[in-house]
Structure 1
């Protein structure tokens, strides 16, 4: 019985010691700017990824526009210029 109590107490002390060391390490990392540098680096990679995705989406949009214009030409239609107000959306309904 006493052996089990000593084992549990030793385990609690060890767990507390490990927690305290981890807490001190985290405090030191925050003070030295390691955490901030990591966060800034992760955000920078996210911005780069977003830019790559935007370029890809724009390329898809342009390619699709070219395909639609070519298809219209094949059936004898003239593709309207981009932003042509004569091709504007009919606003006879509620949005």
Structure 2
């Protein structure tokens, strides 16, 4: 897959998990290489989970559990990134001092 295809696959995977966050996903993907990397890692982990589910029974459970944990970790990390992207920092407004 090309880099562009990887990015599309990553965004698609994240959109399936966070369908109401389309705008934030698009914005983050456009400006954050780290976010794109997380999305691509999610695709890879989901693929690895599918492969693990086809392994022989004696190793299937352990490998499946490993990939499920990885997917949950990545999903939580992506969720935090999306929440942070939706936060508008409100700082203290510097107003000119008035002399009474």
Q: Please, what TM-score do these two structures have when normalized by structure 1?
A: 0.31
Of structures 1 and 2, the one scoring higher in RCO (CA 8 A, sep 6+) is 2
Q: Please, what TM-score do these two structures have when normalized by structure 2?
A: 0.30
Larger Rg: 1
